[in-house]
């Protein structure tokens, strides 16, 4: 019998073993959205790296170079948002294929710079290389946070409520619309394509949670709620129960799911790249949570379930409970793993 | 007529224009080996990113996964050495091709960890993704340095001597030996393959120059002396004269050059990936320079020329002067550009 396939999370666990435990000045090493360094007593440094590879993370048949540049920075800034922090600086490593006109790199740069200006980030260096087969963008971002504000994946407590900052599954649906060349009515078309092509990092929501000490655990939604909530549960040593009726499914998502004969709930729970925030907070904080989000001009966070004892993530539907722990996108095992 | 090809350095200049000038807390932005951040008054932060892409930077036909892991960290540590700094932390982004067994990633990790332990660097996080066509490794490293010790590419003064920390061209020769499957006698074979497969970051030499304030400008040799010295000249607004008779050419390099009917001087000046340091220092510092290197257990630095007024790099041979400004490896224009 061949050995079982090594998935992304098993690989990370094994790499983490090779690299050994983090030293004392590393507040958070492998296993969260950012590494966290205690370089000064007043500010922790947040540090992340993310790569986008042509043919895996993007297809230039339905994404412009400028949109690609925007998204490459957004996915990194989303990691800073997922710790509650403020981004400050970025370095870019760009691998450019020989058959593509090099001037296109300036379109990528224009997209990067647009997001950089919007979120007060400075691009201050990098590396430019040839890439034989497809475009590659690696970005690394540094941000910072006050030590007492830091939010990690661990920290969720039994009975905490589980929230998301916005609708789910729209980016995955937008990708399907593009792949199949579908034409919906203008409004849902714009909503879904926008979710996939122009996601925004939820930095204001992350700051709101951090500054007001509202959350117990925080992560960004890159692989889908089922998968990302499982990370919170694993690192907090708890389980979770999601309420199917509370999962925010927009009219646009329902419409496209019906056309594709897909379950909208499945897209919402397992679709990746939403870049919304997923967090846990004590139930008694709900009024303060709503008030702080409102004061910051943010839409109210949406409760979708509750932390429970155990180590599994369940979906509660009228038909009963279903174990969806870790279901969603695994880069190494295929599109969905259950 | 088609527009002239945009080379790597022209591209970097244009990207730098898109990203705008660096803010005041950025001591050094685009255009040196590391970005330098003044996050505290006592220590500057040094920050670099470098990517290695299969088919461009390495060929696994003649390099093991462990050697690749070592080299991926070495090229980043060499950037820290090139500012005189001390490396501290690294993040890894790895793009893994579907046809390659994922367990191989642990061999890459073992190589990374070997170099990390040797130079007291901690790998504290990263990102693992699929890569459709070839293996990709992006590493970002953070280091630090006291503000008064920082060494940049600018700072070279007319009449300064130009030094390198070791032999040149051996890595490029080693690559040719591997590509052509040559069999030299054991000693030169080991020397040249070692230079290409197991380069070491010249961190002790960089620290020696920085701590004792011995150098006026510093860079690491990734693209070849002709090209890398031209960076020092451009940023210091000076020219340079290299003395062909002073260029360190080892017996191993001479031997392989003869077999390949290549000019060893050409390999020494334009061969990339030596990862030695290239620096400038006032002539009167020579005795202190030798003394400090000796006290640190380092081989004496080798003078290869002198800084002159102007903006060109010349090679002085018995036949006269030759302009070699920027000759060497350009990732976008092909192997050598003159």
Let me know if residue B5 belongs to a domain. Answer: no
The Cα-based distances of B167 to A96, B158, B268 in angstroms read 32, 25, 8
Partner-chain contact B11 A105, CB within 8 Å: yes
CATH number at residue B245: 3.90.650.10
Tell me the backbone φ, ψ of residue A308, rounded to 5 degrees: -130, 170
Q: CA nearest A25: which of A10, A13, A14, A41?
A: A41
Same domain (yes/no): A129, A169: no
Let me know if residue B74 belongs to a domain. Answer: yes
Q: What is the pLDDT of residue B3?
A: 41
Chain B neighbors of A231, CB-CB under 8 A: none
For residue A122, the number of C-alpha atoms closer than 13 Å in the C-beta half-sphere is 18
Residue to mutate among A69, A79, A88, A140, with most B CBs inside 10 A, is A140
Same domain (yes/no): B133, B222: no
Same domain (yes/no): A46, A132: yes
Name the residue facing A125 among B30, B110, B332 (closest C-beta).
B30
Report whether A282 contacts A159 (CB < 8 A).
Answer: yes
Same domain (yes/no): B251, B109: no
> What's the gap between Cα A19 and its chain centre?
25
**Sign of the alpha-carbon dihedral angle for A271, A277, A280, A283:** negative
For every residue of B71-110, DSSP letters joined together read HHHHHHHHHHHTTT-EEEEEEEEEEE-TTS-TTHHHHHHH
Element (H, E) at B233: helix B225-236
Report whether B329 contacts B7 (CB < 8 A).
Answer: no
The token pair at A29 is 């090493």
Residue to mutate among B19, B27, B38, B44, with most A CBs inside 10 A, is B19
**Residue where the block lists tokens 């690192």:** A235
Query: How open is the CA angle A274-A27-B95, to the nearest 5 degrees?
Result: 50
Chosen domain end from A149, A175, A204: A149
CATH number at residue B118: 3.30.1330.10
Partner-chain contact A49 B49, CB within 8 Å: yes
**Cα B53 to Cα B86: distance, rounded to the nearest angstrom:** 26
How many beta-carbon pairs below 8 A join chains A and B?
A: 223
**Residue where the block lists tokens 């050409």:** B266
Q: What is the pLDDT of residue B148?
A: 97
Partner-chain contact A125 B35, CB within 8 Å: yes
For residue B56, the number of C-alpha atoms closer than 13 Å in the C-beta half-sphere is 25
Name the residue facing A47 among B31, B91, B131 (closest C-beta).
B91
Let me know if residue B13 belongs to a domain. Answer: no
Q: What is the pLDDT of residue A244?
A: 96
pTM over 0.90: yes
Same domain (yes/no): A113, A206: no
Same domain (yes/no): A208, A308: yes
Partner-chain contact A331 B128, CB within 8 Å: yes
Report whether A219 contacts A163 (CB < 8 A).
Answer: no
Name the residue facing A130 among B32, B56, B132 (closest C-beta).
B56
Same domain (yes/no): B190, B300: yes
Q: What is the pLDDT of residue A41?
A: 85
Q: CA nearest B202: which of B81, B67, B112, B76?
A: B81
Name the residue facing B49 among A26, A126, A133 (closest C-beta).
A126
Residue to mutate among B23, B91, B112, B125, with most A CBs inside 10 A, is B125
**Cα A58 to Cα A72: distance, rounded to the nearest angstrom:** 10
Let me know if residue B293 belongs to a domain. Answer: yes
Convert the pLDDT of each residue in A264-310 to its tens digit: 999 999 999 999 999 999 999 999 999 999 999 999 999 999 999 99
Chosen domain end from B92, B124, B149: B149
Same domain (yes/no): A176, A280: yes
Report whether A201 contacts A77 (CB < 8 A).
Answer: yes
Label residue A314 left, alpha or beta by phi (over 0 means left) and psi (-120 to 50 means alpha): beta
CA distance B184 to chain A (A): 31
Chain A neighbors of B142, CB-CB under 8 A: 37, 47
Q: Point out which residues pair with A306 in neighbouring strands.
A: A161, A241
The stretches in chain A having pLDDT less than 50 are 1-4, 333-338
Percentage of chain A beyond pLDDT 90 is 79
Partner-chain contact B8 A91, CB within 8 Å: no
Chain A neighbors of B54, CB-CB under 8 A: 132
Partner-chain contact B53 A110, CB within 8 Å: no
Partner-chain contact A53 B126, CB within 8 Å: no
> Which residue does chain A place closest to B50, by CA atoms?
A127
Name the residue facing A128 among B11, B34, B126 (closest C-beta).
B11
Q: What is the pLDDT of residue B327?
A: 79
Structural domain containing residue A309? 161-337
CA distance A150 to chain B (A): 17
Q: Has the ipTM of the complex gone over 0.90?
A: yes
> Which residue does chain A place closest to B47, by CA atoms?
A91
Partner-chain contact B127 A23, CB within 8 Å: no
Same domain (yes/no): A129, A166: no
Let me know if residue A154 belongs to a domain. Answer: no
Let me know if residue A300 belongs to a domain. Answer: yes
Q: What is the pLDDT of residue A15?
A: 86
Query: How open is the CA angle A245-A248-A250, to the nearest 5 degrees?
Result: 120
Convert the pLDDT of each residue in A158-202 to its tens digit: 999 999 999 999 999 999 999 999 999 999 999 999 999 999 999
Partner-chain contact B30 A128, CB within 8 Å: no
Same domain (yes/no): B90, B130: yes
Residue to mutate among B6, B51, B334, with most A CBs inside 10 A, is B51
Partner-chain contact A23 B51, CB within 8 Å: no
Count of domains observed in chain B:
2
Same domain (yes/no): A175, A317: yes
Let me know if residue B2 belongs to a domain. Answer: no
Let me know if residue A3 belongs to a domain. Answer: no
Element (H, E) at A51: strand A44-53
Mean pLDDT, 10 residues at a time, over chain B (338 residues)? 56 85 88 90 94 91 96 97 98 92 92 97 90 91 97 97 97 94 93 96 98 97 93 96 96 94 93 95 97 97 98 94 80 43
Same domain (yes/no): A72, A189: no
Chain A neighbors of B329, CB-CB under 8 A: none
For every residue of A211-259, DSSP letters joined together read HTT--SEEEE-SS-HHHHHHHHHHHHT-EEEEEGGGS---HHHHHHHHH
Q: What is the pLDDT of residue A330?
A: 57
The token pair at B3 is 């527009």
Chain B neighbors of A6, CB-CB under 8 A: 102-103
What is the CB neighbour count within 10 angstroms for residue A263? Answer: 12
Chosen domain end from B95, B114, B149: B149
């Amino acid at each position: 019998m061949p050995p079982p396939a090594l998935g992304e999370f098993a690989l990370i666990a094994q790499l983490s073993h090779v690299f050994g435990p983090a030293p004392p000045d590393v507040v958070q090493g492998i296993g969260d959205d950012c590494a966290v360094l205690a370089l000064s007593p007043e500010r922790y440094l947040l540090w992340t790296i993310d790569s986008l590879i042509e043919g895996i993370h993007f297809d230039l048949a339905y994404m412009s170079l400028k949109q690609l540049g925007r998204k490459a920075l957004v996915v990194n800034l989303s990691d800073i948002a997922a710790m509650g922090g403020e981004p400050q600086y970025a370095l870019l490593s760009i691998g450019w294929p020989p058959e593509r006109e090099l001037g296109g790199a300036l379109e990528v740069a224009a997209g990067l710079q647009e997001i950089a200006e919007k979120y007060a980030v400075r691009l201050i260096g990098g590396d430019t290389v040839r890439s034989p087969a497809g475009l590659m963008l690696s970005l690394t971002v540094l941000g910072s946070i006050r030590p007492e504000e830091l939010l990690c994946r661990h920290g969720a407590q039994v009975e905490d409520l589980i929230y998301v900052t916005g609708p789910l599954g729209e980016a995955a649906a937008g990708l399907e619309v593009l792949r199949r060349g579908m034409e919906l009515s203008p409004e849902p078309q714009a909503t879904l394509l926008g979710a996939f092509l122009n996601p925004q990092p939820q930095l204001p929501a992350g700051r709101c949670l951090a500054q007001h000490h509202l959350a117990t655990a925080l992560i960004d939604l890159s692989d889908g709620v089922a998968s990302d909530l499982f990370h919170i549960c694993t690192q907090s040593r708890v389980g979770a129960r999601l309420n199917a009726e509370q999962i925010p499914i927009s009219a646009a998502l329902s419409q496209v799911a019906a056309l594709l004969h897909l379950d909208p709930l499945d897209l919402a729970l397992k679709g990746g790249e939403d870049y919304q925030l997923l967090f846990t907070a004590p139930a008694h904080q709900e009024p303060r949570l709503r008030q702080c989000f409102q004061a910051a001009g943010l839409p109210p966070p949406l409760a979708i379930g509750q932390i429970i004892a155990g180590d599994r993530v369940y979906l509660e539907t009228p038909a009963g409970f279903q174990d969806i722990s870790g279901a969603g996108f695994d880069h190494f095992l295929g599109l969905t793993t259950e």
